[in-house]
Amino acid sequence: MKVLVIGASGAIGTRLVPQLIEAGHDVVGSYRSRASAELVRALGAEPIEVDLLDGRAVHEAVAGIEPDAMVNQATALTDVNFSRNLDRSFNETNQLRTEATDALLAVAREIGVRRFVAQSYANFRYEREGGPVKTEDDPLDPRPVETMGETVAALRYLEQAVTKAGGIVLRYGNFYGAANDGLIEPVRKRQFPIVGDGDGVSSFIHLADAAAATVLALEHDGPAIYNIVDDDPAPVREWLPVLADALGAEPPRHFPRWLARLFAGEAGVMLATEARGASNAKAKRELGWRLRYPSWRRGFAEAYATEAARNEPVSRSTHRSAA
Ligand SMILES: NC(=O)c1ccc[n+]([C@@H]2O[C@H](COP(=O)([O-])OP(=O)(O)OC[C@H]3O[C@@H](n4cnc5c(N)ncnc54)[C@H](OP(=O)(O)O)[C@@H]3O)[C@@H](O)[C@H]2O)c1
């Protein structure tokens, strides 16, 4: 198939393009900033510059390519300052998830694109009641925290628009596996504490496994929604010390809720104490997906081995390399 990867220069796009080529597809990869053109070309895709928030440009570009399939991986999260107000941090990403989704679906319909897959998110989506791990059939949170209301609404909008058009929505867990993952710096600087009892459950996914699931989804008929997460949803109190250790950082601090609220706002406290994780059973069953990194327990250690070495005092790294 001729596959158009929207956001080919991003964290997931850069892992997805080589896997699609490996699977025998012809890939065109979109980007926004000029600097990304060479990266997309080096990955083996034909690069195309498109501003997704310019409806006419989207139409012209996609109609000119005439892809058989499209996958939308565009977000605007590079160097985002995660403030106490999550909606402020996600403002541009929310526009991409609503306006750009509409523009992409409209041209896809017009030119008869056969498959449409879009990025969504699994963590903080599900109802904060009942068991710790949720399936795609479980209800979404009916009362999202106020400062993340627009972000949650944009994800819902995207999911409804894509499935209504017959497409596939992938609710990814937290990405990891790149040297510039967003959690690395805060964890290394001990700015990411365990809040209260650390009961909030997170689902993770290694970028290589996320890309593999996406290739399979592109070869599958929709409409459908899949959680693309690993086998091991876990509370913050479990995964955060393991991540800190993998990065060679000091163990995380412990904050009471009231203190965390001052720094991270209500959304941060909710994620750390009440969020639910997601089950990947449906994606495994229906897509035939097999994970290379079934748990972050091994995945963090492998992904961040060099990060930890860079962060270690000389005596420790000397000792280890001599071992
Ligand atoms: N599920 C998750 O945990 C999750 C999901 C998404 C992102 N993240 C994290 O967020 C961080 C940043 O993500 P990222 O590396 O994917 O970068 P990003 O800045 O979110 O960009 C992603 C892609 O979207 C493109 N893009 C952004 N705005 C656009 C626009 N207006 N028009 C057209 N294309 C546009 C980018 O192009 P350019 O490269 O040319 O700017 C890039 O190809 C990473 O650490 C990543 O792991 C996590």
Q: Residue 183 Cα, ligand 1 centroid: separation in angstroms?
A: 15
Q: Please tell me if the CB atom of residue 177 comes closer than 6 angstroms to any atom of ligand 1.
A: no
The residue to which tokens 């750390």 are assigned: 272
pLDDT of residue 78: 92
| Ligand 1: nearest atom to the Cα of 175 | 3
Q: What is residue 321's predicted lDDT score, i.e. its pLDDT?
A: 29
Give yes or no for residue 95 CB within 6 A of ligand 1. Answer: no
Q: Which helix (H) or strand (E) holds 136?
A: none
Neighbours of 103 (CB within 10 A): 20
Close Cβ partners of 290 (under 8 Å, ≥ 6 residues apart) = 212, 284
Take residue 64 and report the two structure tokens written for it.
């000119």
- pLDDT at position 313 is 44
- Residue whose Cα lies nearest atom 16 of ligand 1: it is 10
Ligand 1 pocket member 124 (CB < 6 A): no
What pLDDT is recorded for position 84? Answer: 84
Q: Which atom of ligand 1 is nearest to the CA of 181?
A: 45
What letter does residue 148 receive in the DSSP assignment? G
Q: Where are the alpha helices (DSSP H) in the chain?
A: 11-22, 36-42, 55-65, 86-89, 91-95, 101-111, 149-164, 184-188, 207-218, 236-246, 257-273, 281-287, 296-303, 305-311, 314-322
**pTM, to two decimals:** 0.94
Residue 78, ligand 1, Cβ within 6 A: yes
| Closest of 78, 84, 117 to residue 101, by C-alpha | 117
Which atom, in ligand 1's list, is nearest to the CA of 174?
3
Report CA(45)–ligand 1 centroid distance (Å): 17
Substitution site in 72, 77, 121 for ligand 1 pocket (most atoms within 8 Å of beta carbon): 77
The pLDDT profile of the chain, 323 residues, written as one tens digit per residue, is 999 999 999 999 999 999 999 999 999 999 999 999 999 999 999 999 999 999 999 999 999 999 999 999 999 999 887 778 889 999 999 999 999 999 999 999 999 999 999 999 999 999 999 999 999 999 999 999 999 999 999 999 999 999 999 999 999 999 999 988 999 999 999 999 999 999 999 999 999 999 999 999 999 999 999 999 999 999 999 999 999 999 999 999 999 999 999 989 999 999 999 999 999 999 999 999 999 999 999 999 999 986 655 555 433 333 322 22
Q: How far, in Å, from the CA of 227 to the mean position of ligand 1?
A: 19
| 90 within ligand 1 shell (Cβ under 6 A) | no
DSSP string, 18-71: HHHHHTT-EEEEEESSTTHHHHHHHTTSEEEE--TT-HHHHHHHHHHH--SEEE
Measured between alpha carbons, how far is 185 from 176 in angstroms, rounded to an integer? 13
